[in-house]
Structures are given as structure tokens and as C-alpha cells.
Amino acid sequence: KQMSRLLIAASRDQMAPVIAELYRHNLFHIEEYVDAGAEGYEGFKIGTPLSGASEKSADLIKIRAITNAVSLSADDVDKKPSCSMDELQTKIERELPLLEREVEELTVRRSKLDAREKELEQKITELTPFADIPVDLNLYHGYKRFTAIAGYLSREVVLNVPHEMHVSKREGKNFIVVVYPTERRSEVEKTLQEGGFQSVPIPGESGSARGRIEFYAGEIAALKTDILEISTKLEDVKKKHASFLVACEELLKAEVDQTEAPLRFATTKQTFVAEGWVPTDQVTAVTN
């Protein structure tokens, strides 16, 4: 469309009603004022948000946190308005805090369960190489005169020191656990290094590795059930409140835009100036 440049200048106490009128028409494309000493703008500064901007922004952040938690997008709901703006504003004040608390409690619980699941999966990963070694894990610890080490060898080696060794095949390599006199550490380390030794930590647990893996697998299965239950509750929240949440986000975004519009104006203590563009055939509608 053919566009016309429009400059609006008024007293600062008229800023809020002017902004409201401009947004009601939804035609004025604001051109941002750059505070760089532009000619004719000596003494002007970038404006500050209208009253209530921080509260509106905080509510918008809450809404977006909720929609992210329940994986909601605007495409998921019917665009038809379900209530008036005043009714929606009332619902925001009354229902948003309760909804935020409910979703936050569910997401915090799910995050803790997810973290615990990852922790147990890591334990299983650490235990798996020891699954085929027929020695209880507690026998690898608690010695003063002996040291236990574990890891992978790419080549076979012969240890010329007193030792006990257990070997299993894993990932095309020999996985070994060796217990040897601590005083012979340097000899053992040198020999193992020649065999391409890659050490792994020995789990600080007791009992058989297989038994511990089965135990942790059972815990993970229970966690997955709890996580699924929480995800189902969040999905129920999404289905129940989807239209409300999308409408809230649209309303609050528009209100935040309005309250932050002065950040694109040139202002003094007494006046403000806004520059921008409107369709030429709508100039009269905007200015009258």
C-alpha cells in the first residue's frame, strides 16, 4: 500500500490515551527514535514504559512458562474469542496464579524425577562393564596393602607381580579387574600402559553388579510411570486451559507492546514525539 509519514506531537500527559487510540486502529507503524542527537531533537530522550509495564511483562512471562511446560502453541486452539476482554482480564487476575502454581509444582516434580532417572541410568552405565565379573563389588574396596583397578585392554599383557585378575570380553576388548600389592603400583601401571589400558572407575557399591543393575532398572521403571502420570496431568491442563492460555498470551503481548511503546518515542519532561507510517488512505481515520 501507499504509505504516508505521520508525526505525532503532544503533551506527555496525553501519551497513554494517544497510544491506546493508535493501537485501537492498529495502523500506525512506529519508527524507533534513536537517541543520537538528531537535528531538531535536541533535549529529547528515549521514553520510559507506561505504568504497569513490569506487571504486564511478568504476567506474560508466567503465561509463556506455562505454555512451554504443557507444549502449547497458538495453532492448537480455535481462534474464536471465548469471552470479552474485560472477562479475560478478570480471569487472568483470578485464575492465572492458581494455574501457574499447579503447573510449576508438576514441572518441578517431573524435573526431579527426570534428574533421578538420568542418575540411575549413569549408575547402570558404570556398572555394566562389571556385570560379567563374578566378584561382589564390595570386595574391590577397603584394602590398605592392596589396590584394585579396572578398565579395558586392547592387547593382552602379562603381569609379573602377585595379583588377582578377572577378564571379560566387551566392545571387542578385554575388560579386566586387577587387584595387586600397592607397593608394586609403578610396575603394574607400566605393564598395563603397554597393553593400551583405559581405566574406568570402580563403582562404590556392594553386592553383584548384575543385582545392582536389576535394582536400578526397577527404580527407573517406577520413575517412568510417575513421569508419565505427571505428563498426563500436564496434558489435561493443556486441554482444559488451552484457549484461555492462548488468549491470555495474545492479550498480554498486546498490552506489553502498548506499555512499552514509549521506548520508541522521543520525549522531554513535558512532551513526546512519535514518528511512523500509516496507509495513505487511512491517514484521516487515524488523525481525526
- Average pLDDT score over the chain: 89
Sheet containing strand 198-200, strands side by side: 164-170, 173-181, 146-153, 198-200
Residue 163's closest CA among 144, 142, 187? 187
Give the angle 104-117-110 at the CA atoms, nearest 5°.
10
Would you state the pLDDT for residue 79? Answer: 63
- Quick: pLDDT tens for 121-143: 999 999 999 999 989 999 988 88
Answer with the residue of higher pLDDT: 260 or 77.
260
Name the region of 26 (left: φ>0; alpha: ψ -120 to 50; beta: rest).
Answer: left
- Residue 83 has which C-alpha cell? 469471552
End-to-end CA distance of the chain: 21
Would you state the pLDDT for residue 80? Answer: 60
For residue 81, pLDDT beyond 60: no
For residue 36, pLDDT beyond 70: no
| Residue where the block lists cell 496507509 | 279
d(CA 173, CA 167): 10
- Quick: pLDDT tens for 215-226: 999 999 999 999
Annotate 178-222 with DSSP letters as a single string: EEEEGGGHHHHHHHHHHTT-EEEPPPS--S-HHHHHHHHHHHHHH
With pLDDT > 90 as the criterion, what percentage of the chain qualifies? 56
Give the angle 81-86-92 at the CA atoms, nearest 5°.
85
